[in-house]
Amino acid sequence: MKILALTDIHGETEKLKKVLLKDFSLSCDLILVAGDLTNFGDKNQISAVINLLNNSNKPYFYVPGNCDYVNRFDQEQLKYNLHGKHVVYSRIGIIGIGGSLKTPFNTPFEITEEEIDRLLESAYQELIKFKNFDKWILVSHNPPYNTSLDYTRTGLHVGSKIVRKFIEDNKPILVITGHVHEARSKDKLGETLVVNPGPLKDNYYAEIEIKNDVQVELKSL
């Protein structure tokens, strides 16, 4: 499976158009977006981003980020929202968790570790109930704690301890995350590959291939 991994679009529709026209994007099987589709966007900005994803004619799923006003998305736009949910696509399970932990900026979609724990466990139990998948992926706007993906310019690790524990306990093959713009990188937690593609608003994205293992290339426009 070939996956185009995006995060932190922040309403930059011209950059989204460009990445969706890349050769890899045109041939990929799936698009996964790890949050912040908009930059505190209104209904027009939400529509612009979602319409581009729809018009790509590729299956896609996303989680909203802390800069997304989820209550401004209509029911059709929430159709592929994976926050607290699961889906199975081509025998690969996918679980999503959106929002972020509390920030100093009082952003629109902030949640607690307790909420993350409850939503992840619920989605995972629903996924494993059906046993119709071979491997599974986590899409989380929050990066896991104490990795290269949650390290800020101020020298602090700001990721989620619950997300990290959930990964270590349940061992997805891949985690796609975002939120910390300066922490574009790949890391490993046990056998799980964790990637922050970097913010699309700054021209970054990732190309992923899942064969016997997971191969990730960090790319730029």
Q: Which residues contact 196 (CB under 8 A, 6 or more apart)?
A: 7, 34, 143, 149, 177, 178, 179, 180, 183, 184, 185, 186
Where do the structural domains in the chain lie, given as residue ranges? 2-220
Instruction: Tell which CATH classification among 3.30.70.1560, 3.60.21.10, 3.40.50.280, 3.20.20.20 matches the domain 2-220.
Output: 3.60.21.10
Q: Is the pLDDT score of 130 beyond 90? A: no
Q: Is the pLDDT score of 8 beyond 90? A: yes
* pLDDT tens readout for residues 77-108: 999 999 999 999 999 999 999 999 999 889 99
Find where tokens 């975002």 sit. 178
Assigned token pair, 22: 């890349």
* pLDDT tens readout for residues 22-66: 999 999 999 999 999 999 999 999 999 999 999 999 999 999 999
- Whole-model pTM over 0.95: yes
SS3 50: helix
